[in-house]
Amino acid sequence: MIGQTLRHYRIESKLGEGGMGVVFKAHDTHLDRPVAIKVLQAEAVADPERKRRFVQEAKAASSLNHPNIIHIYDIDTAVSPQGATDFIAMEFVAGTTLDRVAGRKGLALGAALNYAVQIADGLAAAHAAGIVHRDIKPANIMVTEQGHLKLLDFGLAKLTEVEESDSFATTLTGKPGEILHTEEGTIVGTVAYMSPEQAEGKKVDARSDIFSFGSVLYELVTGVRAFQGETKIATLSAILHREPKPFSEIAPSVPHELERIIMHCLLRIALAASSTWKM
């Protein structure tokens, strides 16, 4: 798509690719500024009702004005002889994703706490507005050269959900029935950061983001994932049935109070009993 134009956005280069689509750097010819364009996969928006819910939530996310949340400029469809292309235009952030910043050894304690505060601030603002991210993970967090952090992809996980009308229906992170399949490769998204509710295909709320936040912070300060298996199914089983290794075994220098906060985020009882950030 390099060199093509979607509405008034001229595609300049490819920035990355994920399960929901491809991200490009583009130039907004109307306002003369750089933007990031996420071109959504056709199958992600094939269901009209699912697309409607996504657009509704993305509009809500675009109303958020917070320094730690990427700003959404536009949601549109460009029609060409090759067909229709659904895309999102958003703020362009020069930097790299948190997973690349942290690497395999994690971060120094000061840096990890700096990022943790920014993640929590962004999530708190979204939750206060009734918006749940659903896919918090290091790859969805951008870090600028100045160390400023931006949460990406608010609302995109909505495209992978199936929502029923009754109050007891489940909200899945994949197609109906996929979550309980034991066949490798059927789970949508990065399962290592999913909350137990997501892993079981249950309805999720802000508490699910808190669990994922705890998983991210655990990894930042220890250098290892809180939940990890040899396969996706094994990782889901670990999330549902195991506790993360105690810090004394892998990172004894981490302050006890910080360990307490992280483990509180990861407690199953905390998800069931509280929807606040109070520790």
Any idea which residues carry the catalytic annotation?
A: 135
Which stretches of 19-115 are assigned E, i.e. beta strand?
Answer: 21-28, 33-40, 72-80, 83-91, 95-97
Question: For the chain, how long is the longest CA-to-CA vector?
Answer: 60
Q: Which residues lie below 8 Å from residue 163, measured CB to CB, with a gap of 6+?
A: 53, 169, 171
User: What is the rounded distance in angstroms from the CA atom of residue 161 to the CA atom of residue 26?
Assistant: 29
Give the count of beta carbons closer than 10 Å to the beta carbon of residue 86: 22
CA torsion 254-255-256-261 (nearest 10°) is -90
User: What is the rounded distance in angstroms from the CA atom of residue 241 to the CA atom of residue 271?
Assistant: 15
